[in-house]
Protein backbone atom coordinates (compact mmCIF):
# COMPACT_ATOMS: atom_id res chain seq x y z
CA UNK A 1 0.00 0.00 0.00
CA UNK A 2 1.58 3.29 -1.04
CA UNK A 3 -0.04 6.62 -0.53
CA UNK A 4 1.81 9.52 -2.12
CA UNK A 5 1.27 13.18 -1.30
CA UNK A 6 -0.75 13.56 -4.50
CA UNK A 7 -2.96 10.62 -3.61
CA UNK A 8 -3.57 12.11 -0.17
CA UNK A 9 -4.59 15.44 -1.72
CA UNK A 10 -6.91 13.61 -4.09
CA UNK A 11 -8.47 11.77 -1.15
CA UNK A 12 -9.07 15.08 0.65
CA UNK A 13 -10.68 16.51 -2.50
CA UNK A 14 -12.82 13.42 -2.96
CA UNK A 15 -14.08 13.68 0.61
CA UNK A 16 -14.59 17.43 0.86
CA UNK A 17 -14.85 18.67 -2.74
CA UNK A 18 -12.44 21.46 -2.03
CA UNK A 19 -14.04 23.20 0.89
CA UNK A 20 -14.56 22.96 4.60
CA UNK A 21 -15.29 25.08 7.63
CA UNK A 22 -13.55 23.81 10.75
CA UNK A 23 -15.08 24.92 14.01
CA UNK A 24 -12.84 24.46 17.05
CA UNK A 25 -15.03 24.34 20.13
CA UNK A 26 -13.05 25.20 23.24
CA UNK A 27 -10.70 27.33 21.18
CA UNK A 28 -9.39 29.17 24.23
CA UNK A 29 -8.24 25.98 25.95
CA UNK A 30 -4.93 24.15 26.20
CA UNK A 31 -5.67 21.30 23.79
CA UNK A 32 -6.63 23.73 21.04
CA UNK A 33 -3.59 25.90 21.63
CA UNK A 34 -1.04 23.12 21.99
CA UNK A 35 -2.32 20.56 19.54
CA UNK A 36 -5.27 21.45 17.32
CA UNK A 37 -4.06 24.73 15.84
CA UNK A 38 -0.41 23.74 15.37
CA UNK A 39 -1.65 20.60 13.58
CA UNK A 40 -3.98 22.63 11.36
CA UNK A 41 -1.19 25.07 10.54
CA UNK A 42 1.16 22.29 9.62
CA UNK A 43 -1.46 20.76 7.31
CA UNK A 44 -1.97 24.18 5.76
CA UNK A 45 1.78 24.56 5.20
CA UNK A 46 1.94 21.21 3.47
CA UNK A 47 -0.96 22.12 1.24
CA UNK A 48 -3.41 19.59 2.67
CA UNK A 49 -6.08 22.02 3.83
CA UNK A 50 -8.59 22.71 1.08
CA UNK A 51 -7.93 26.09 -0.54
CA UNK A 52 -10.72 28.11 0.94
CA UNK A 53 -10.82 26.57 4.41
CA UNK A 54 -12.21 28.78 7.13
CA UNK A 55 -11.35 27.96 10.74
CA UNK A 56 -13.60 29.39 13.41
CA UNK A 57 -12.57 29.29 17.06
CA UNK A 58 -15.49 29.18 19.48
CA UNK A 59 -15.41 29.46 23.27
CA UNK A 60 -17.05 31.31 26.12
CA UNK A 61 -14.11 33.65 26.74
CA UNK A 62 -14.43 37.06 25.15
CA UNK A 63 -11.30 37.80 23.17
CA UNK A 64 -10.19 40.22 20.50
CA UNK A 65 -9.10 38.69 17.22
CA UNK A 66 -5.52 39.70 18.00
CA UNK A 67 -5.61 37.94 21.37
CA UNK A 68 -7.07 34.88 19.68
CA UNK A 69 -4.39 34.84 17.00
CA UNK A 70 -1.67 35.26 19.61
CA UNK A 71 -3.08 32.40 21.57
CA UNK A 72 -3.46 29.89 18.78
CA UNK A 73 -0.04 30.58 17.31
CA UNK A 74 1.79 30.49 20.63
CA UNK A 75 3.11 26.95 20.09
CA UNK A 76 3.95 27.37 16.42
CA UNK A 77 7.65 27.80 15.76
CA UNK A 78 8.53 30.45 13.17
CA UNK A 79 11.65 29.13 11.46
CA UNK A 80 12.05 31.66 8.69
CA UNK A 81 10.42 34.38 6.64
CA UNK A 82 8.41 31.85 4.62
CA UNK A 83 6.89 30.38 7.78
CA UNK A 84 6.04 33.88 8.93
CA UNK A 85 4.22 34.64 5.71
CA UNK A 86 2.42 31.30 5.85
CA UNK A 87 1.39 32.03 9.39
CA UNK A 88 -0.03 35.43 8.40
CA UNK A 89 -2.08 33.73 5.70
CA UNK A 90 -3.18 31.05 8.16
CA UNK A 91 -4.30 33.74 10.62
CA UNK A 92 -6.33 35.37 7.90
CA UNK A 93 -8.19 32.07 7.50
CA UNK A 94 -9.07 31.89 11.19
CA UNK A 95 -11.65 33.93 13.07
CA UNK A 96 -13.04 33.81 16.57
CA UNK A 97 -16.49 33.93 18.03
CA UNK A 98 -17.39 33.84 21.69
CA UNK A 99 -20.63 32.27 22.80
CA UNK A 100 -22.30 30.00 25.31
CA UNK A 101 -22.41 26.22 25.16
CA UNK A 102 -25.98 25.86 26.37
CA UNK A 103 -27.94 28.54 24.52
CA UNK A 104 -29.63 28.17 21.18
CA UNK A 105 -29.10 31.85 20.32
CA UNK A 106 -25.32 31.48 20.62
CA UNK A 107 -25.37 28.47 18.35
CA UNK A 108 -27.64 30.23 15.88
CA UNK A 109 -25.23 33.16 15.73
CA UNK A 110 -22.46 30.68 14.97
CA UNK A 111 -24.60 29.10 12.27
CA UNK A 112 -25.20 32.50 10.70
CA UNK A 113 -21.46 33.26 10.74
CA UNK A 114 -20.67 29.98 9.02
CA UNK A 115 -23.44 30.44 6.50
CA UNK A 116 -22.27 33.96 5.61
CA UNK A 117 -18.73 32.73 5.24
CA UNK A 118 -19.87 29.91 2.95
CA UNK A 119 -21.75 32.43 0.82
CA UNK A 120 -18.79 34.83 0.71
CA UNK A 121 -16.43 32.06 -0.28
CA UNK A 122 -18.83 31.09 -3.03
CA UNK A 123 -19.13 27.51 -1.86
CA UNK A 124 -21.93 25.80 -3.65
CA UNK A 125 -24.59 23.88 -1.73
CA UNK A 126 -23.58 20.25 -1.39
CA UNK A 127 -20.00 21.26 -0.62
CA UNK A 128 -20.71 23.21 2.55
CA UNK A 129 -18.89 20.80 4.84
CA UNK A 130 -18.51 21.45 8.55
CA UNK A 131 -16.07 19.83 10.93
CA UNK A 132 -16.77 20.34 14.63
CA UNK A 133 -13.68 19.71 16.72
CA UNK A 134 -14.63 19.44 20.38
CA UNK A 135 -11.57 20.45 22.40
CA UNK A 136 -13.78 20.47 25.46
CA UNK A 137 -14.09 18.95 28.93
CA UNK A 138 -16.25 15.80 28.95
CA UNK A 139 -19.15 17.40 30.81
CA UNK A 140 -19.76 19.51 27.69
CA UNK A 141 -19.62 16.73 25.08
CA UNK A 142 -23.33 15.95 25.03
CA UNK A 143 -24.78 19.45 25.57
CA UNK A 144 -22.52 20.86 22.84
CA UNK A 145 -23.20 17.96 20.48
CA UNK A 146 -26.94 18.58 21.01
CA UNK A 147 -26.70 22.34 20.47
CA UNK A 148 -24.68 21.82 17.31
CA UNK A 149 -27.04 19.21 15.93
CA UNK A 150 -30.07 21.37 16.53
CA UNK A 151 -28.65 24.65 15.27
CA UNK A 152 -25.40 24.33 13.35
CA UNK A 153 -25.51 20.93 11.62
CA UNK A 154 -24.48 21.12 7.95
CA UNK A 155 -27.60 21.02 5.85
CA UNK A 156 -25.78 21.40 2.56
CA UNK A 157 -22.70 19.29 3.04
CA UNK A 158 -21.01 16.80 5.36
CA UNK A 159 -20.89 17.10 9.13
CA UNK A 160 -18.00 15.64 11.09
CA UNK A 161 -17.78 15.60 14.88
CA UNK A 162 -14.39 15.09 16.51
CA UNK A 163 -14.26 14.10 20.14
CA UNK A 164 -11.48 12.97 22.42
CA UNK A 165 -11.26 11.04 25.69
CA UNK A 166 -12.25 10.65 28.42
CA UNK A 167 -15.06 8.52 27.03
CA UNK A 168 -16.71 7.78 30.35
CA UNK A 169 -15.28 6.13 33.44
CA UNK A 170 -16.35 2.54 32.81
CA UNK A 171 -18.40 0.42 30.42
CA UNK A 172 -21.72 1.82 31.54
CA UNK A 173 -20.85 5.52 31.45
CA UNK A 174 -19.01 5.08 28.16
CA UNK A 175 -21.99 3.29 26.64
CA UNK A 176 -24.26 6.02 27.90
CA UNK A 177 -22.11 8.68 26.21
CA UNK A 178 -21.99 6.61 23.03
CA UNK A 179 -25.78 6.24 23.05
CA UNK A 180 -26.26 9.97 23.46
CA UNK A 181 -23.81 10.91 20.73
CA UNK A 182 -25.01 8.22 18.36
CA UNK A 183 -28.59 9.37 18.81
CA UNK A 184 -27.47 12.68 17.30
CA UNK A 185 -24.77 11.70 14.81
CA UNK A 186 -24.14 8.63 12.74
CA UNK A 187 -21.05 6.56 13.44
CA UNK A 188 -19.71 7.75 10.08
CA UNK A 189 -19.91 11.34 11.29
CA UNK A 190 -18.14 10.72 14.60
CA UNK A 191 -14.36 10.65 14.85
CA UNK A 192 -13.21 9.50 18.31
CA UNK A 193 -9.60 10.45 18.78
CA UNK A 194 -7.08 8.31 20.60
CA UNK A 195 -4.01 10.32 19.74
CA UNK A 196 -1.73 7.27 20.10
CA UNK A 197 -3.24 5.97 16.87
CA UNK A 198 -1.78 9.00 15.12
CA UNK A 199 1.77 8.31 16.25
CA UNK A 200 4.16 7.28 13.51
CA UNK A 201 5.29 4.02 15.06
CA UNK A 202 1.77 2.99 15.99
CA UNK A 203 0.71 3.57 12.40
CA UNK A 204 3.67 1.41 11.43
CA UNK A 205 2.62 -1.69 13.39
CA UNK A 206 0.50 -3.11 10.60
CA UNK A 207 3.27 -2.67 8.03
CA UNK A 208 5.85 -4.33 10.22
CA UNK A 209 3.54 -7.25 10.85
CA UNK A 210 1.89 -7.77 7.51
CA UNK A 211 4.46 -6.55 4.99
CA UNK A 212 7.32 -8.71 6.31
CA UNK A 213 7.23 -12.43 5.92
CA UNK A 214 9.68 -13.09 8.72
CA UNK A 215 7.63 -11.42 11.45
CA UNK A 216 4.37 -12.55 10.01
CA UNK A 217 5.38 -16.20 10.23
CA UNK A 218 6.55 -16.19 13.83
CA UNK A 219 3.81 -14.03 15.26
CA UNK A 220 2.16 -16.45 17.64
CA UNK A 221 2.34 -18.47 20.85
CA UNK A 222 4.77 -20.94 19.33
CA UNK A 223 7.50 -18.30 18.95
CA UNK A 224 6.52 -15.41 21.19
CA UNK A 225 6.92 -15.77 24.93
CA UNK A 226 5.54 -12.46 26.16
CA UNK A 227 4.71 -8.94 25.02
CA UNK A 228 5.14 -5.72 26.94
CA UNK A 229 3.69 -2.34 26.13
CA UNK A 230 5.40 0.30 28.24
CA UNK A 231 4.60 3.95 28.86
CA UNK A 232 6.95 5.96 31.05
CA UNK A 233 6.87 9.64 31.87
CA UNK A 234 9.41 11.54 33.94
CA UNK A 235 6.96 14.17 35.08
CA UNK A 236 4.43 13.62 37.81
CA UNK A 237 0.93 15.03 37.82
CA UNK A 238 2.09 18.42 39.12
CA UNK A 239 -0.65 20.98 38.68
CA UNK A 240 -2.93 18.41 37.06
CA UNK A 241 -3.56 16.28 40.13
CA UNK A 242 -7.09 17.58 40.54
CA UNK A 243 -8.06 16.19 37.15
CA UNK A 244 -5.89 13.10 37.31
CA UNK A 245 -7.18 11.98 40.70
CA UNK A 246 -10.62 11.21 39.28
CA UNK A 247 -9.11 8.95 36.65
CA UNK A 248 -5.80 7.40 37.68
CA UNK A 249 -3.19 6.01 35.33
CA UNK A 250 -5.28 3.06 34.14
CA UNK A 251 -8.12 5.21 32.83
CA UNK A 252 -5.75 7.97 31.74
CA UNK A 253 -3.46 6.02 29.42
CA UNK A 254 -3.81 2.25 29.75
CA UNK A 255 -7.43 1.51 28.89
CA UNK A 256 -7.07 3.65 25.78
CA UNK A 257 -3.56 4.36 24.45
CA UNK A 258 -1.80 1.18 25.52
CA UNK A 259 -4.70 -1.12 24.74
CA UNK A 260 -5.01 0.40 21.27
CA UNK A 261 -1.36 -0.42 20.61
CA UNK A 262 -1.84 -3.90 22.03
CA UNK A 263 -4.81 -4.58 19.80
CA UNK A 264 -2.76 -3.73 16.70
CA UNK A 265 -0.03 -6.08 17.87
CA UNK A 266 -2.44 -8.93 18.64
CA UNK A 267 -5.15 -8.68 15.98
CA UNK A 268 -5.50 -11.02 13.03
CA UNK A 269 -4.75 -9.84 9.52
CA UNK A 270 -7.61 -7.63 8.30
CA UNK A 271 -9.17 -8.63 4.99
CA UNK A 272 -8.04 -5.28 3.55
CA UNK A 273 -6.64 -1.94 4.65
CA UNK A 274 -10.10 -0.38 4.76
CA UNK A 275 -10.98 1.33 8.01
CA UNK A 276 -13.83 -1.02 8.84
CA UNK A 277 -11.81 -4.11 8.03
CA UNK A 278 -9.08 -2.97 10.40
CA UNK A 279 -11.49 -1.97 13.12
CA UNK A 280 -13.38 -5.26 12.77
CA UNK A 281 -10.18 -7.15 13.60
CA UNK A 282 -9.35 -4.88 16.52
CA UNK A 283 -12.78 -5.43 17.98
CA UNK A 284 -12.49 -9.18 17.48
CA UNK A 285 -9.23 -9.46 19.31
CA UNK A 286 -10.41 -7.23 22.16
CA UNK A 287 -13.37 -9.53 22.57
CA UNK A 288 -10.96 -12.43 23.05
CA UNK A 289 -9.45 -10.76 26.13
CA UNK A 290 -11.21 -11.63 29.38
CA UNK A 291 -11.43 -8.90 32.03
CA UNK A 292 -8.15 -8.24 33.81
CA UNK A 293 -8.09 -9.52 37.39
CA UNK A 294 -6.56 -7.90 40.45
CA UNK A 295 -4.09 -10.79 40.81
CA UNK A 296 -2.58 -9.74 37.46
CA UNK A 297 -2.17 -6.18 38.61
CA UNK A 298 0.51 -4.14 40.37
CA UNK A 299 -0.42 -0.63 41.46
CA UNK A 300 1.83 2.17 42.63
CA UNK A 301 1.82 5.79 43.69
CA UNK A 302 4.89 8.01 43.79
CA UNK A 303 6.24 9.67 46.88
CA UNK A 304 8.53 12.71 47.07
CA UNK A 305 12.23 12.20 46.34
CA UNK A 306 15.20 14.18 45.03
CA UNK A 307 13.50 17.47 45.80
CA UNK A 308 10.40 16.50 43.85
CA UNK A 309 6.99 16.39 45.53
CA UNK A 310 5.02 13.21 46.08
CA UNK A 311 1.64 12.72 44.44
CA UNK A 312 -0.20 13.52 47.66
CA UNK A 313 1.69 16.79 48.04
CA UNK A 314 0.22 18.19 44.85
CA UNK A 315 -1.68 21.40 45.72
CA UNK A 316 -4.39 20.70 43.19
CA UNK A 317 -5.26 17.40 44.84
CA UNK A 318 -8.43 17.55 46.94
CA UNK A 319 -8.15 14.17 48.66
CA UNK A 320 -4.84 14.10 50.49
CA UNK A 321 -5.31 10.43 51.34
CA UNK A 322 -5.96 9.50 47.76
CA UNK A 323 -5.18 5.94 46.68
CA UNK A 324 -5.30 6.76 42.99
CA UNK A 325 -2.57 4.84 41.15
CA UNK A 326 0.04 6.86 39.26
CA UNK A 327 1.67 3.60 38.20
CA UNK A 328 0.12 0.34 37.06
CA UNK A 329 1.28 -2.90 35.53
CA UNK A 330 -1.50 -5.16 34.29
CA UNK A 331 -1.34 -8.42 32.43
CA UNK A 332 -4.02 -9.62 30.10
CA UNK A 333 -4.46 -12.78 28.07
CA UNK A 334 -5.75 -13.13 24.56
CA UNK A 335 -7.77 -16.28 24.46
CA UNK A 336 -7.56 -17.39 20.90
CA UNK A 337 -5.64 -19.94 18.90
CA UNK A 338 -2.78 -17.57 18.17
CA UNK A 339 -2.12 -16.25 21.66
CA UNK A 340 -3.35 -18.61 24.33
CA UNK A 341 -0.89 -18.58 27.24
CA UNK A 342 1.08 -15.53 26.06
CA UNK A 343 1.00 -12.74 28.63
CA UNK A 344 0.51 -9.21 27.36
CA UNK A 345 1.89 -6.93 30.04
CA UNK A 346 0.96 -3.24 30.02
CA UNK A 347 2.99 -0.90 32.23
CA UNK A 348 2.38 2.80 32.67
CA UNK A 349 3.62 5.33 35.15
CA UNK A 350 4.23 8.96 35.92
CA UNK A 351 7.25 10.38 37.77
CA UNK A 352 9.55 7.58 36.59
CA UNK A 353 13.24 7.42 35.68
CA UNK A 354 12.71 7.73 31.94
CA UNK A 355 10.34 9.05 29.31
CA UNK A 356 9.57 6.48 26.67
CA UNK A 357 6.87 4.43 25.04
CA UNK A 358 7.69 1.10 23.46
CA UNK A 359 6.41 -2.31 22.54
CA UNK A 360 8.73 -5.19 23.39
CA UNK A 361 7.98 -8.58 21.89
CA UNK A 362 10.13 -11.23 23.55
CA UNK A 363 10.57 -14.48 21.65
CA UNK A 364 11.05 -17.90 23.13
CA UNK A 365 14.39 -19.56 23.80
CA UNK A 366 15.94 -21.41 20.89
CA UNK A 367 15.03 -25.07 21.38
CA UNK A 368 18.05 -27.41 21.68
CA UNK A 369 20.37 -24.46 21.19
CA UNK A 370 24.06 -24.96 20.46
CA UNK A 371 24.62 -21.72 22.29
CA UNK A 372 22.92 -22.30 25.57
CA UNK A 373 22.33 -19.24 27.68
CA UNK A 374 22.07 -16.91 24.73
CA UNK A 375 19.57 -14.21 25.51
CA UNK A 376 16.20 -14.28 23.81
CA UNK A 377 15.45 -12.36 20.66
CA UNK A 378 13.32 -9.31 21.07
CA UNK A 379 11.60 -7.03 18.63
CA UNK A 380 11.25 -3.52 19.98
CA UNK A 381 9.08 -0.84 18.41
CA UNK A 382 10.04 2.40 20.05
CA UNK A 383 7.12 4.78 19.74
CA UNK A 384 8.88 7.70 21.43
CA UNK A 385 11.22 9.43 21.79
CA UNK A 386 13.22 8.87 18.61
CA UNK A 387 11.26 6.30 16.71
CA UNK A 388 13.07 3.04 16.10
CA UNK A 389 12.44 -0.57 15.22
CA UNK A 390 15.15 -2.92 16.40
CA UNK A 391 15.61 -6.62 16.85
CA UNK A 392 17.87 -7.86 19.58
CA UNK A 393 19.69 -10.84 18.24
CA UNK A 394 22.73 -12.95 18.96
CA UNK A 395 25.87 -12.52 16.96
CA UNK A 396 29.40 -13.85 17.10
CA UNK A 397 31.55 -11.46 19.05
CA UNK A 398 33.76 -9.86 16.38
CA UNK A 399 37.41 -10.95 16.51
CA UNK A 400 39.08 -14.18 17.51
CA UNK A 401 36.49 -14.96 20.13
CA UNK A 402 33.76 -17.57 19.65
CA UNK A 403 31.48 -16.04 22.21
CA UNK A 404 28.01 -14.93 21.29
CA UNK A 405 27.12 -11.37 21.95
CA UNK A 406 23.71 -9.82 21.88
CA UNK A 407 23.50 -6.97 19.37
CA UNK A 408 20.74 -5.58 17.27
CA UNK A 409 19.40 -5.04 13.80
CA UNK A 410 18.62 -1.43 14.21
CA UNK A 411 16.34 0.84 12.23
CA UNK A 412 16.63 4.12 14.07
CA UNK A 413 14.65 6.59 12.06
CA UNK A 414 16.94 9.55 12.67
CA UNK A 415 19.97 7.68 11.41
CA UNK A 416 18.29 5.97 8.53
CA UNK A 417 15.91 8.46 6.95
CA UNK A 418 17.15 11.70 5.45
CA UNK A 419 14.99 14.81 5.89
CA UNK A 420 12.91 13.00 8.46
CA UNK A 421 9.79 14.92 9.36
CA UNK A 422 7.54 13.01 11.68
CA UNK A 423 4.21 14.76 12.03
CA UNK A 424 2.60 15.23 15.37
CA UNK A 425 -0.11 12.65 16.06
CA UNK A 426 -2.84 15.28 15.83
CA UNK A 427 -1.67 16.44 12.43
CA UNK A 428 -1.72 12.93 11.12
CA UNK A 429 -5.18 12.26 12.56
CA UNK A 430 -6.65 15.51 11.29
CA UNK A 431 -5.43 14.65 7.83
CA UNK A 432 -7.08 11.23 8.14
CA UNK A 433 -10.28 13.01 9.07
CA UNK A 434 -10.08 15.35 6.09
CA UNK A 435 -9.66 12.42 3.75
CA UNK A 436 -12.47 10.51 5.41
CA UNK A 437 -10.34 7.68 6.74
CA UNK A 438 -11.66 6.23 9.98
CA UNK A 439 -8.95 3.57 10.44
CA UNK A 440 -7.14 5.44 13.19
CA UNK A 441 -10.20 6.48 15.13
CA UNK A 442 -12.00 4.45 17.75
CA UNK A 443 -15.27 2.81 16.76
CA UNK A 444 -18.14 2.56 19.22
CA UNK A 445 -17.99 -1.22 19.60
CA UNK A 446 -14.21 -1.04 19.99
CA UNK A 447 -14.61 1.36 22.86
CA UNK A 448 -17.09 -0.89 24.55
CA UNK A 449 -14.87 -3.95 24.12
CA UNK A 450 -11.94 -1.99 25.58
CA UNK A 451 -13.91 -0.91 28.61
CA UNK A 452 -15.13 -4.44 29.28
CA UNK A 453 -11.53 -5.55 29.78
CA UNK A 454 -10.88 -2.94 32.45
CA UNK A 455 -14.18 -2.16 34.12
CA UNK A 456 -14.33 -5.08 36.59
CA UNK A 457 -10.82 -4.50 37.92
CA UNK A 458 -11.34 -0.73 38.08
CA UNK A 459 -14.56 -1.23 40.01
CA UNK A 460 -12.77 -3.64 42.35
CA UNK A 461 -10.03 -1.07 42.95
CA UNK A 462 -12.64 1.64 43.58
CA UNK A 463 -14.58 -0.69 45.88
CA UNK A 464 -11.54 -1.53 48.01
CA UNK A 465 -10.82 2.20 48.34
CA UNK A 466 -8.45 2.87 51.22
CA UNK A 467 -7.68 -0.86 51.59
CA UNK A 468 -6.32 -1.33 48.13
CA UNK A 469 -2.77 -2.65 47.99
CA UNK A 470 -0.83 0.16 46.39
CA UNK A 471 2.96 0.23 46.49
CA UNK A 472 4.89 3.43 46.79
CA UNK A 473 7.84 4.37 44.63
CA UNK A 474 10.19 7.35 44.77
CA UNK A 475 9.78 10.12 42.24
CA UNK A 476 12.24 9.43 39.42
CA UNK A 477 12.60 5.67 40.03
CA UNK A 478 11.72 2.65 37.86
CA UNK A 479 8.42 2.28 39.69
CA UNK A 480 7.55 0.04 42.65
CA UNK A 481 10.39 -2.37 43.45
CA UNK A 482 7.93 -5.26 43.06
CA UNK A 483 7.91 -4.57 39.32
CA UNK A 484 10.90 -6.80 38.59
CA UNK A 485 9.29 -9.85 40.17
CA UNK A 486 5.94 -8.92 38.61
CA UNK A 487 7.23 -9.11 35.03
CA UNK A 488 9.38 -12.15 35.81
CA UNK A 489 6.27 -13.95 37.04
CA UNK A 490 4.97 -13.81 33.46
CA UNK A 491 8.15 -15.21 31.99
CA UNK A 492 9.93 -12.05 30.96
CA UNK A 493 13.61 -12.95 30.85
CA UNK A 494 16.10 -10.18 31.39
CA UNK A 495 19.30 -12.12 30.71
CA UNK A 496 20.95 -9.49 28.57
CA UNK A 497 23.01 -7.84 31.26
CA UNK A 498 25.82 -6.85 28.87
CA UNK A 499 23.58 -5.36 26.27
CA UNK A 500 24.01 -1.64 25.66
CA UNK A 501 22.06 0.36 23.16
CA UNK A 502 23.01 1.80 20.73
CA UNK A 503 26.82 1.50 20.99
CA UNK A 504 28.28 -1.58 22.53
CA UNK A 505 31.65 -2.08 24.15
CA UNK A 506 33.21 -5.45 23.30
CA UNK A 507 35.34 -5.59 26.41
CA UNK A 508 32.57 -6.48 28.84
CA UNK A 509 30.39 -8.71 26.68
CA UNK A 510 29.96 -12.41 26.41
CA UNK A 511 27.50 -15.19 26.66
CA UNK A 512 28.95 -18.57 25.97
CB of 243 to ligand BG6, least distance (A): 8
Q: Residue 72 in contact with residue 94, Cβ under 8 Å?
A: yes
Comparison of 195 and 347: residue with beta carbon closer to ligand BG6: 195
The distance of closest approach from Cβ of residue 110 to ligand BG6 in the complex, given in angstroms and rounded to an integer, is: 28
Q: Does 135 bind ligand BG6 (CB under 6 A)?
A: no
330 strand-pairing partners: 297, 346
Q: For residues 20 and 37, what is the distance between their CA atoms, to the nearest angstrom?
A: 15
**For residues 76-95, which are near ligand BG6 according to CB under 6 A?**
none
User: Is 16:127 a contact under the CB 8 Å cutoff?
Assistant: yes
> Rounded to whole angstroms, how far apart are CA atoms 349 and 235?
9
Half-sphere exposure of 448 (CA within 13 A, CB side): 10
- Cis before 158 (ω within 30): no
Q: Residue 276 and residue 271: Cα distance in Å, rounded?
A: 10
Give the number of residues in contact with ligand BG6, rule: CB under 6 A.
5
Q: Is 253 in the site for ligand BG6 (CB under 6 A)?
A: yes
- For the chain, how far is it from start to end, CA to CA, in angstroms? 43
Q: Which phi and psi angles does 350 have, rounded to 5°? A: -105, 160
Q: Using the minimum distance from each CB to ligand BG6, give the nearer residue, 199 or 376.
A: 199
Of residues 94 and 255, the one with the C-beta less far from ligand BG6? 255
CA dihedral in degrees (6, 12, 16, 20; nearest 10)?
A: -100
Which residue number has the CB closest to ligand BG6?
252
Burial 464-479 (b: 16+ CB within 10 A, else e): eeeebebbebbbbbbb
166: preceding bond cis by omega (within 30 degrees): yes
Binding mask 140-179 for ligand BG6 (x = CB under 6 A): ----------------------------------------
Is 30 or 102 the residue whose CB approaches ligand BG6 more closely? 30
| Nearer residue to ligand BG6 within complex by CB, 300 or 375 | 300
Shorter beta-carbon distance to ligand BG6: residue 148 or 357:
357
C-alpha span between 189 and 172 (Å, rounded): 22
Judge whether 74 counts as a catalytic residue: no
Binding mask 195-214 for ligand BG6 (x = CB under 6 A): x-------------------
Cβ proximity to ligand BG6, 98 vs 204, nearer residue: 204
The CB-of-26 to ligand BG6 minimum distance in angstroms stands at 16
Site string for ligand BG6, 328-367 (x = CB under 6 A): -----------------------------x----------
Q: Which residues contact 472 (CB under 8 A, 6 or more apart)?
A: 300, 301, 302, 303, 480
Q: What is the phi/psi pair of residue 211, to 5°? A: -105, 5
CB of 301 to ligand BG6, least distance (A): 15
Given a contact cutoff of 8 angstroms between Cβ atoms, the answer to whether 436 and 274 are in contact is no
Q: Are 285 and 336 in contact (CB under 8 A)?
A: yes
Q: Smallest distance, Å, CB 317 to ligand BG6?
A: 15
Catalytic residue among 54, 69, 195, 257: 257
- Provide, rounded to whole angstroms, the least separation between the CB of residue 303 and ligand BG6: 19
* Minimum distance from residue 252 beta carbon to ligand BG6 (Å): 5
Between 329 and 342, CB nearer to ligand BG6: 329
Q: Is 245 in the site for ligand BG6 (CB under 6 A)?
A: no
Helix (H) or strand (E) holding 283: helix 275-287
Phi, psi for 137 (deg, rounded to 5) = -70, 155
252 binding ligand BG6? (CB under 6 A): yes
| Nearest-approach distance from CB 414 to ligand BG6, in angstroms | 18
Catalytic site residues?
257
Q: Tell me which residues touch ligand BG6 (CB under 6 A).
A: 195, 233, 252-253, 357
Amino acid sequence: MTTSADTISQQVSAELHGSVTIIVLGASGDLAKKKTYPALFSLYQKGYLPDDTHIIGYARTKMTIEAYHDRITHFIKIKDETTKQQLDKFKSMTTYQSGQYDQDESWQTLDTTIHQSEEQRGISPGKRNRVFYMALPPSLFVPVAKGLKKNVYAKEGLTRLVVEKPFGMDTESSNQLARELNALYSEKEIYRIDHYLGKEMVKNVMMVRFANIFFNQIWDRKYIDNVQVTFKERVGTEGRGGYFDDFGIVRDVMQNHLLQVLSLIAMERPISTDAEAIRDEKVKVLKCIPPIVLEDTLLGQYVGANGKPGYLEDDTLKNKQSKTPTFAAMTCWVQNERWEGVPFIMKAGKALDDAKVEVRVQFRNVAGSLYKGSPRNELVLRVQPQEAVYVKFNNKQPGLSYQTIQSDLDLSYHDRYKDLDIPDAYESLLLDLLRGDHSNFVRKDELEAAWKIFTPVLHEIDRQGANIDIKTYPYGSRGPEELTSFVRKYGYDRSDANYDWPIQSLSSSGNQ
